[in-house]
Structure 1
């Protein structure tokens, strides 16, 4: 037996059932993470608090800012508007099951200009100044 290719320590034999249950349990947890998604724009205080990484104070601030400034358009919009949630934390909240508009289209980097248009309308791109002619 080659110690580099094979394990040299004897392990106790396992029956098939605990392993199957463990794999099934992990699959159920992975599925529950996607099924239990919480939409940032429609969630209540309790639903926001159920997301890992959002406490009672942060949930309250998210709701107050949503009432004051309107719907969130993206996770970068969330991190711009809510103090204490940076891009890294917003990414962690997304991994924990938080979504923007049900996880559909995510417009990132639009900020205030996208929020000023009518609801449901896509914002027009910023005008681009023409380049000066080369001589």
Structure 2
């Protein structure tokens, strides 16, 4: 009976260690350095630099769909793979599909409450 109990404890400890190890390797896309991005499986030096350059040019990434739209070579599947490898956006809980992720309203605010960005009204509305 004690051996069985020990086995359960070891299994639980092993799962806890794996969970902790996964959390420790999480890298936030909006704050990561070049070396941190290169540490994510599936991101090489060139892609890491493109991600940083695009972040400097276009601002924070709003979702994995936004990453996929802005960085050539990262499609929805690869974005999902990068998320599984530990890449997060603003601490996790982000979307991979294009549903709702960076869509802006007429006022320029995103559906998830990001800061408003001026949006030029359509030409017909300006007349």
TM-score range, shorter chain: 0.5 to 0.7
Structure 1 residue aligned with 2:22: 33
Deviation by residue 1:60-105 (Cα, 9 ceiling, x = unmatched) = 0000000010000000000000000000000010011000011156
Taking CA–CA contacts closer than 8 Å with sequence separation of 6 or more, which of the two structures ends up with the larger relative contact order? 1
TM-score norm. by structure 1 comes to 0.63
Runs in 1 of length 4+ with deviation above 3 angstroms? 22-27, 104-114, 116-120
SS at match of 1:72: coil
- Which ranges of structure 2 fall in alignment gaps of 5 or more residues? 118-127
Alpha-carbon offset, residue 33 of structure 1: 1.0
> Radius of gyration: which is bigger?
1
- Which ranges of structure 1 fall in alignment gaps of 5 or more residues? 1-14, 124-135
TM-score norm. by structure 2 comes to 0.66
Alpha-carbon offset, residue 112 of structure 1: 6.8
Structural mapping, 1:1-135, within 5 Å: 23=11, 24-25=13-14, 27-104=16-93, 108-111=99-102, 113=104, 117=109, 120-121=114-115
